[in-house]
Amino acid sequence: MCGIVAYVGPQDAAPVLLEGLQRLEYRGYDSAGVAVVTRSGALKVHKAKLRVAELAASLPARFKGTSGIGHTRWATHGEPNDVNAHPHTDTAERIAVVHNGVIENADELRAALAADGVEFRSQTDTEVLAHLVAQYAERGAGLEEAVRSTLRRVVGTYGIAVVDVSEPGVVVVARNGSPLVLGVGEKEMFVASDVTAFVAYTRQVVHLEDGELAVVRASGYRTFNEEARATHRTPSEVDMEVVEFDTAGHAHFLAKEIHEQPDAVERTLRGRLDRRFATAHLGGLNLGARELREVRRIKILGCGSAYYAGEIGAQLIEDLARMPASSEPASEFRYRNPVIESDTLYIAVSQSGETYDTLAAVKEVKRKGGRVLGVVNSVGSAIARECDGGVYLHAGPEVSVASTKAFTSTIVAFALLALHFGRIQDLSPAAGGRLVEALDALPGQIREILAQEERIAALAAEYASEHAKSGSMMFIGRVRGFPVAREAAQKLKEISYIHAEAYPASELKHGPLALIGPELPTVAVVPDDELFDKNLTTLGEIRTRAGRVLAVAHREIDPALAEHTVVVPKSEPVLDAVLLNIPLQLFAYHAALALGRDVDRPRNLAKSVTVE
């Protein structure tokens, strides 16, 4: 979602800002803009409904300043256009603001400002902030005081960066529910919504917490709260490499990330498999064996693909540790006044570690005395810092909006957690040893599946070309196969725009069978397990109604029951979801390609969802 960058220092600010915005493009956006303050105290703003590269190419020749702010916008208030793009300024163009989040009382504040004679140019909630800061500044307040006074009137979430032509070389920033991090350089300072934006310049970072502000100058920074009390944040070093965001010879980031999955899984497993004791080493849990034995149930919280990965994780934990476990959308959990139990362990799942709904759910659990572990990919992210412990995926940067390698690595991380919990409980050394060997074999098996891409691409193109007949596809699976079907349906929806519905195969005859016919294809997840024969019966019910079936299975399905079968290698049954999901990622990718979709940046979606 929206990205923020800011810079103060001796360099020309605009190129630094634009480079930072390019590194945040993966978050998703529909417009971009930058503003710089010159040494003489002039404000220059350039923004448009353009990609960052196009914005850079159209930058005016004289656009120099040693401090500035930049933004990539994902529309929440007002349609995507040049006027609604950030930064936003006050009428006199003294103040410029960039903002992530949602100001919930923006209409009320707008009405009050309009009554004072303020004329608005955009439809955004952010412009309200610019005019409010300007009002306080015009009454004699310095930029710091003007921002603090403004935020005391604001209800909602925000990550903001503000500049004032009257104070060249100063940026004031604030956070409440939307991430902001400071980068401490050598006589220069950086601000961003993601460390990725400035890691090429410094790895010394300061994470702002909710309710905190900072005044940033080239010489350093000062952090404080809305009551102006100092918070004394000290820098820490982030362990992150400078990543060049290129497709490494692939047509799209999504294709690259699908093919990176064997390596991603190897990184998730590295140093964590203990063959001697047939278990997993997870040092970041901060939870001893005695404490774990006191846990009676596990609740997993996530959104979108993280929620579906949590469903698979819950099954892994129940199968291996024999502990009741369930997964729930974090976006629903936080609003239903949940009962937080002292003997329940909560696990928050997020690729970015900044998903707002999940972060809010974590805070709700913590507020009520619950214990939360995190399963996240982004080191030092808000959710990782908020949790009591957890597991980093180490899947590597994921740029495409649709999650693939992070989803797969999340399942593997849950397998490690389940193995660890299981061996503390009643899982035998023999069973643990089999799982260790199966986990170790996963990267090679994923490579075997990826080698089938050409055939899967042909099938995807065939099914995509016929989707217009019904405009939809059905995905089915039982028990371990059902979350795989749900994730596969989501992938197809989000990148190809084909409507897809996932249903438990056992529930098909309880209603959805009415939809089946020659125009509605069904993708069936058919593991070779104790439910194999029951799954074949369901396929028979579909075929007798002239429905087309594409099966993803561990062996060829009788053509009378499935028109096509994609065969994947067999692993331990509890790991079936990892391998059965891979061909369905390829299926969604190639279906989207066949329909001419923008697979890396699907419409209306963003990589990191930091607003409600």
Structure tokens at 526: 């058919």
Q: What is the mean pLDDT of residues 83-97?
A: 95
Sequence-separated (6 or more) residues with CB below 8 Å from residue 462:
none
Q: What is the mean pLDDT of residues 572-584?
A: 96
**Tens of pLDDT along 240-290?**
666 556 788 899 999 999 999 999 999 999 999 999 999 999 988 988 888
Whole-angstrom distance, CA of residue 67 vs CA of residue 35: 9
**Tens of pLDDT along 430-459?**
999 999 999 999 999 999 999 999 999 999
Q: Is the peptide bond before 10 cis (omega within 30 degrees of 0)?
A: no
- What is the reported pLDDT for 329? 95
**Tens of pLDDT along 156-200?**
989 999 999 999 999 999 999 888 999 999 999 999 998 888 988
- What is the reported pLDDT for 610? 61
Is 468's pLDDT higher than 60?
no
Whole-angstrom distance, CA of residue 307 vs CA of residue 333: 12
- What is the reported pLDDT for 508? 86
- What is the reported pLDDT for 241? 64
Higher-confidence residue of 67 and 382: namely: 67
Structure tokens at 110: 């707008």
Is 470's pLDDT higher than 60?
yes
Whole-angstrom distance, CA of residue 331 vs CA of residue 303: 7
- What is the reported pLDDT for 482? 95
Active-site annotation, residues = 2, 607
Q: Which of 225-239, 253-267, 318-332 shows the lowest per-residue confidence on average (mean pLDDT)?
A: 225-239
pTM, rounded to two decimals: 0.86
**CB count in 10 Å sphere of residue 560:** 10
Query: How many residues are listed for the chain in this entry?
Result: 612
Give percent of the chain above pLDDT 70: 97
**Tens of pLDDT along 397-424?**
888 889 999 999 999 999 999 999 999 9
DSSP class of 49 = S
- Bridge partners of residue 382, in order along the sequence: none
Sequence-separated (6 or more) residues with CB below 8 Å from residue 429:
277, 278, 423
Domains and CATH numbers, the chain: 3-237 (3.60.20.10), 253-450 (3.40.50.10490), 453-594 (3.40.50.10490)
C-alpha closest to that of 592 among 490, 475, 439, 441: 490
